[in-house]
Amino acid sequence: MKNTRRHFLHKITASALALTVIPRLGMAGLPDMTEAPYDGPVLRVAIMGLGGYGTRVAEAMKDCKKAKLVGVISGTPSKVKAWQEKYGIPEKNCYNYDNFDNIKNNPDIDAVYVITPNALHHSQAIRVAKAGKHVICEKPMALNAKEGQEMVDACKKANVKLLVGYRMHFEPHTLEVIRMRQAGEFGKILFFQGLCGFKAGDPGQWRLNKELAGGGSLMDIGIYALNGARYMIGEEPVWVTAQETKTDPQKFKPGVDETIQFQLGFPSGAVASCLSTYSMNNLDKFFLNGDKGFAEMQPSTGYGPIKGRTHKGELNQPVVVHQTLQMEEMSDIILHGKQPVVPVNGEEGVRDLKIMDAIYEAVKTGKKIALK
């Protein structure tokens, strides 16, 4: 069986699809059971890329009230047929990678969720924007900050929204730690540690192909630690240093990083130390330390349930299917202009890509890189 990131995350945590879905969070993060049935506008979504994660999103969307799967885009006709039967998708809402520009003439699709290999995001997202549809793009949203900014500009020019699949920005345990930090419960933030990794299996998978992945473990799994450092500390880093370790150059070809350790410095003096790897299992942990308390999360970014504790005790927020909650919230963002606690817009994705570019530069030069 392919040991991909998504298989790893699925393996180390209980199946998210078996978890209870809590559609709305009321006061203090508790489910609001008194809410009347939803009868407002629904975001009609086509999924591009019908692989493992696309399937997970489709399954999670069965429980959405504000978002609905209505279309598919794939280069594999057999997958299109299977999805049509499974999810009741009409023929007129099915496209391939050559003809999906024609969605501009389809009023039944509002947005396209791009869930394809990293190197394809840039061109595909821009084509979706030019077709006049909102774009949701898996992370990393592009191979570098230049590509990411071009995607942001294209979506602005087309007057459509661009969102990035940062599901953790809606996860209740994560939001509780952010709330505590904002309330000063940890005091002055001093240190963050993010550990993300697994043993990459099949050497033929696209994640180990530089042309499709654009990199290695950093882009695939390390982005969780990078993004987590920013939202946990609540600041933007001002410098980065990084080191790469490669033990298997046959499997991890030039341009595909096996293990990268990177350090970030923040304006307040807080520092972060992060590890991204394709050669070690049991790494899915965040730790935040302040002068008055701490938060520890493990698993910190897996599909669920997220578990954590602070100096005040265990975190007991509602357990949710991340992708269900993500799509509900993204519907509110696109249709109603809702502002999430942590942004998921294209600009947020570009911030990560700028830092990632600097991490790769630090690896190459051995220097501390200042971030603008």
Given the structure tokens 């504790």, which residue do they identify? 309
Name residue 310's beta-bridge partners: 295, 313
Residues 261, 246: Cα–Cα separation, whole Å:
12
Per DSSP bridges, beta strands 294-297 and 279-290 are antiparallel
- Alpha carbon distance, N-terminus to C-terminus of the chain: 43
Determine which one of 53, 113, 133, 139 is catalytic.
Answer: 139
Determine which one of 113, 224, 231, 303 is catalytic.
Answer: 224
Name the nearest CA neighbour of 318 among 113, 180, 190, 170: 170
Query: 328 is written with which tokens?
Result: 């509900």
139 is catalytic: yes
Give the 3-state secondary structure of residue 288.
strand
Name the nearest CA neighbour of 155 among 180, 131, 129: 129
Contact 321, 170 (CB under 8 A): no
Query: 126 is written with which tokens?
Result: 């821009």
Contact 274, 261 (CB under 8 A): yes
- Residues in Cβ contact with 372 at an 8 Å cutoff, skipping those fewer than 6 apart: 354
Query: 141 is written with which tokens?
Result: 């949203």
Name the nearest CA neighbour of 307 among 14, 67, 37, 49: 14
Let me know how long the chain is: 372
Name residue 370's beta-bridge partners: 239
224 is catalytic: yes
Given the structure tokens 């698993």, which residue do they identify? 299
Which residues are known catalytic residues? 139, 224
